[in-house]
Chains A and B, each alone.
Chain A
Amino acid sequence: MVETSEIITLVLGTATLFFLCANMQQLRKLPFFELIFYSYLTLVVSWWLTVLEEFIWSDALNLLEHTGYLISSSLLALWCYKTAFKSTEQIKK
């Protein structure tokens, strides 16, 4: 059974994704923005899978959902690493 909180999370997450896309032009100026963007996108996909798993292929989609979490967190870690170990000049560029 689908949890209300999951639906709300999905709605909020998707809205945030829209916000992100709407301000892409500005936010692109963040260093290694692609990593952040794909990290969040993967997270939103996982939330979608959380809801979908209640209807079909619950086990497979659940596995995909958690795989998505792993990818998302890995991309985030990679972003942290790159921003932390690159020189200030590179970041400013």
Chain B
Amino acid sequence: MKISVIVLLDTLACISILFSISILIFRRKSILWLDSCFLLLLLSLAFFFISNQLESSAISVALDPYENFLLPFIWLFWFFAMLKKIQLIELEKAHNKLMISEQNIMILLQNLPQKISLKNRRSEYVTCNGHFASDFNRIPEEITGKTDFDLYPAEMAEKYRKDDHRIMTSAKTEETDEKSLQNGHTRWIHTIKTPALDETGKVIGILGIFWDVTEQRKMRENLRESEERFRKTFINAALGISITDLEGHIEHCNPAYYKLLGYTEEELREMTISSLIHPDDRDANLIMDRRLLAGEMSSFEIENRYINKDGHTILVHEYKSILTDETGIPRHMITLLTDMTERRNAEQRVKTSEEKLRLFLDNFSGIAYQAPLSTFQPTLFYGAVEKITGYTSDVFTQGRMAWNDLIHPEDQKIVYEEEKRLHDTQEHFADNEYRIVTRNNSVRWVHDFARNVNGIDGKPIIQGSIFDITERKLAEEALKKSEERLRLAQESAHIGMWEYDLRSGKANWTKELELIHGITENTFLDSYSAFRERVHPDDLEKLERTQNEAIRDHRTFELDFRIITPSGEVRWVSSKGAALYDEAGHPMTAYGVSTDTTERKKAELTLLDSEENLRTTLNSIADAVIATDTAGMITRINPAAERLTGWRNGQAIGKPLTEVFLIVNSYSGKTVSDHIFRVLHTGTISSLPANTRLISREDREFQIADSVAPICGMRGEITGVVLVFRDVTEEYTIREALQESEKQYRLFYETSPFAIVHVKSFKMCHPNQSAIKLYGISAEELTNTHPWELSPEQQPDGSLSRDKAIFYMKEALAGHPQYFEWVHQRRDGTQFDVEIALTRVYLKGEPQITATVIDVTDRKRALKSLKASLNEKEILLQEIFHRTKNNMMVISAFLELQAASMENKEVDRIIHDSVTRIRTMSLAHEMLYKGRSLSRINMQEYIKDLTQILATGSSISPEQVSLHFDIEKIEILIDIAIPCGLIINELLSNCFKYAFPDQRKGIVTIGLKRSGEKQLELSIKDNGVGLPEGFDIMQTETLGVQLVTQIAHHQLHATINVLSEDGLSWYISFSEDLYAERV
């Protein structure tokens, strides 16, 4: 019992194994572990059979030592093989991922604008991108394996080699600008060299990233030089220069500026220009500032009073202009101050001095004296002696004091020498100035004018007059100092003075003016004509005209013109001048000042160019641009923006942005301007929301796309916003239409009754609902499935589904649409017939196949059923024809039998004729069931067979009458064929009976041909005896002719022509469309 249970268990185990083997044999899949399993199970089976079932057999005994070892070994082997396979698959997957990653990195590297290379430790290029290789007119593959010595000059390559060695040794990244050779040109490149490390951190090479910075470097250098030049000019300028913001806050000022005002630079930075100006002058200055900011003028000059730190008022000449940024927006104001205080003071002092002198002269009361020539001691004094000397004149006249005692010790020698000269040379005049010490010990200057005259007594005496010139002397001293200061001021301000004698043409120039003109004292010709030669030819006419008009009109003139220095340099000079006139009003002298304004002019021209370029650019670009200030007021609008908004430039400037730029959401109709003003607060670039519509001034609407960016000043402060937008109405319309179209196509795709799938790389994807329903699996399962995996192994024609499917798909991918029938198989094994149309489509530039699958299972089934039904009916019809023919033959046989018993020849003939007619009809039915068609008869065969039957049944031998046929290959309906056959039967029977009497030989021709469209002509001609003279065959009453005419007229609707020339000819014409086809 126990043994039998064990045997049962083992038997069941064997069955399980056999079941496994059968699965593997009949349902194998090309998976390695199943193959291996197959081997394992076979061996396991061997084990079971050998060890358990055949224990007593010779095989078991023979294998006994090995049987039990085998199975663990097989399992071990199989586990080991599986392990290796899994590792291999994972390795392959990892390798594929790595390859994809590497490809992506290579694409990234190739498309980077920088030049990138990787060298190994031997400084050989391992790889590089296209930009790097293109510098050497090579492709990256050609660079690989090369060193710098193959690509660069030896000196440069050696340097690179040393750099590489240093970086690899230090393992530190180096970044530098250096010269490099590109396409034979030396360029500056920015280089980042990084040690390439492996996963252990070991340096395995160098990664180099380079990009050309030649242009940036040049620009930077130019910028630095320019900045240095301007900075030095700014710092060293003799004029006080300050740069302020638009509200007058001082941002920068040069030493001359803050020294002039007595503040430190730091203190001034906390102040505004306005606070420095004298309160009485502030309003005038403010008005000018506003006009300047409004763009009414590019600059202005004004004389202001400033208050310095000490509280003193300083008179300055102020020149102010606007500094704009690249877009032409005013950013700063620049102020140039020239201290006019000293000059004004000097002028004032000169004036005061002159007034004093005048007063002195008006009220002068000098001293008149007389002295003997021998002693020069005045004995007579008149005038304001006391006033001048503090002594009364008596003191001198009474001899208590000599005049010479009053003379300043330092001047006594001069006075003495002058007296001696007058005495010795006997000259008439002596004019001397010297100092005297007055009674109160003050020193006064006197002017002593002495005249040598003869006295009353004839002796020479000295008469003179002494004037107190102390004040004048002081004034002269002050004037001299003032002039000296003026000269220094001119020198420091680079202001040159000039004077021309309009009569003689002589010119006087100050040294500063000579420097401005670039000439030295030696080269200056001190004439107006020499100056004229220095003036630029283009400006000379304007200069002289302005000058002459001003002199003529007695007014000052001011002019900017160019001069050419001896070195050829062209400079701009600003000159102001006026003329002096004589009493008659004729000009005598022209005088004035000139300043070198070359730098200012250049700056102005640069500014103008910049502004012009900006304006041209803005006017030329297709995008619309609107700029506003911080208050949202429009400051600039270009023509494109004018067109879209409908506002002209002049109308829009100064208007609120929301009035000119009215934008709404296309769907909600709400205004969406908020984000523009948000930019003013956030300072970040923003874009319009999608579906934004601009409503123009004329109520036209545009779909627009735009961006809003803040306008930032030099210090980064936001000074407004700039809007850049464009008309995207057309794009918007197209996009809307596209979306609608896409929706329609998607709807069609999803609701199509036909199954539609895409095939990519021979795998199905994107199935529609009908496809999912047809194949009976989910879209996920269907996706990435090969078409042949849903097909039986073979198609009905015996070809393998896989090969056939691949063939069709390749043909379709080659651009040949494929239409074919196919058998698919669902997962549950049910098969169904489909018709498939494959067409090639391009999606994202990649060829794919669109497969339209139509389930034709029902149609096929119906067609099959229909065919079977038709076959059945054809057989039935043939059977009917056959039976009809047989019945006719039976009838004719009965008639012949009956005729044989008749002795009456006429009756026999009549029966014979009837039999012939029946055979004629039965022949037609016979041909129908034997022929291909069940409704049409081949007339060629029919007439020949019928003729043969008639000829055989008659007494005419073939030698006597030969039959000729002229019959086209025509198939006609049985409804026409039988009447035709009866007509032929009657006419041929008559022909055989009557046309060839007395063994006359002849020919009978039977014809049937087309005589027109759908028209047939039957002809029967013989060359027999023909009709007797005057015999009208149509009037005869014989049965045969009557049958012919009756059949022809009533059944065929035919026309009959009979000709009796060289025999008898019948022509019967009829239409072949008399009856409709029934089968």
Interface residues, chain A, with chain B CB atoms under 8 Å away: 3, 5-6, 8-9, 12-13, 15-16, 19-20, 23, 26-27, 29-31, 40, 43, 59, 62-63, 66-67, 69-70, 72-74, 76-77, 79-81, 83-85, 87-89, 91
Contacts and interface: CB of A to CB of B under 8 A. Distances in A.
Contact of A6 (B10, B68, B73): B68
Contact of B79 (A20, A43, A69, A76): A20
A8 B33 CA distance: 27
Contacts, number: 126
Interface stretch (B20-28, B332-340, B612-620): B20-28
Contact of A30 (B6, B14, B82): B82
Interface SS, A side: helix
29 contacts: A5-B64, A5-B65, A5-B67, A6-B68, A8-B68, A9-B68, A9-B69, A9-B72, A12-B69, A13-B75, A16-B72, A26-B87, A27-B79, A27-B83, A27-B86, A29-B86, A30-B33, A59-B2, A63-B2, A70-B10, A70-B16, A73-B12, A73-B14, A73-B16, A73-B44, A74-B13, A80-B34, A83-B33, A88-B29
A31 to B, nearest CB: 8
Interface core residue of B79, B82, B827 (most chain A CB under 10 Å): B79
A5 B656 CA distance: 104
B71 interface: yes
Given A5-B64, A63-B5, A91-B29, 9 more contacts: A15-B72, A15-B76, A27-B83, A63-B6, A66-B9, A69-B10, A73-B14, A80-B37, A84-B23
Nearest to B7: A66
A16 B23 contact: no
Contact of A27 (B2, B5, B82, B785): B82
Interface in B765-816: 781, 784-785, 789
A5 to B, nearest CB: 4
B973 interface: no
B759 to A, nearest CB: 17
Contact of B69 (A8, A15, A70, A85): A8
A12 B79 contact: no
Nearest to A80: B20
Contacts of B19: 77, 80-81
A84 B25 CA distance: 10
Interface centre among B31, B41, B68 (most CB of A within 10 A): B68
Contacts of A26: 83, 86-87
Contacts of A84: 23-24, 27-29, 34
A67 to B, nearest CB: 6
Contacts of A43: 71, 75
Interface string B28-54: 110101100100010010001000100
B48 to A, nearest CB: 7
A25 B342 CA distance: 100
Nearest to B84: A26
B76 A76 contact: no
B648 to A, nearest CB: 69
B192 interface: no
A66 B71 CA distance: 15
B16 A12 contact: no
Contacts of B16: 70, 73-74, 76-77
B1046 to A, nearest CB: 80
B20 A67 contact: no
A16 B34 contact: no
Q: Which of A31, A67, A76 has the most CB of B within 10 A?
A: A76
Contacts of A13: 71-72, 75
Contact of A77 (B17, B27, B65): B17
Nearest 7 Cβ contacts at the A-B interface: A9-B68, A12-B72, A73-B13, A73-B16, A80-B20, A77-B16, A66-B9
Most buried by B among A8, A9, A15: A9
A15 B28 CA distance: 31
Nearest to A4: B65
A6 B64 CA distance: 10
A42 to B, nearest CB: 11
Given A43-B71, A80-B23, A23 B79 contact: yes
B10 A66 contact: yes
Most chain A CB within 10 A, of B24, B65, B71, is at B71
Contact of A76 (B41, B80, B781): B41
B469 to A, nearest CB: 124
A74 B536 CA distance: 115
Nearest to A66: B9
Nearest to A3: B68
A88 B788 CA distance: 14
Contacts of A30: 33, 82, 86
A63 B3 CA distance: 9
A63 B7 CA distance: 10
A84 B82 CA distance: 17
Contacts of B14: 73
A59 B3 CA distance: 10
Nearest to A65: B6
Contacts of B827: 87
Contacts of B48: 69, 73
Contact of A9 (B10, B71, B82): B71
A73 B31 contact: no
Contacts of A31: 33
Given A9-B71, A67-B9, A76-B17, A19 B27 contact: no
Interface string B915-937: 00000000000000000000000
A9 B65 CA distance: 11
Contacts of A62: 2, 6
A87 B781 contact: yes
Contacts of B34: 80, 83-84
Nearest to B65: A5
A15 B75 CA distance: 11
Given A66-B9, A73-B13, A89 B781 contact: yes
Interface string B426-438: 0000000000000
B432 to A, nearest CB: 129
A66 B27 CA distance: 29
B1068 to A, nearest CB: 77
Contacts of B79: 16, 19-20, 23, 27
Contacts of B44: 73, 76
A63 to B, nearest CB: 7
A31 B20 CA distance: 16
A16 B83 CA distance: 13
A73 B72 CA distance: 14
B29 A5 contact: no
B33 to A, nearest CB: 6
Nearest to B31: A91
A60 to B, nearest CB: 10
Contacts of A20: 79
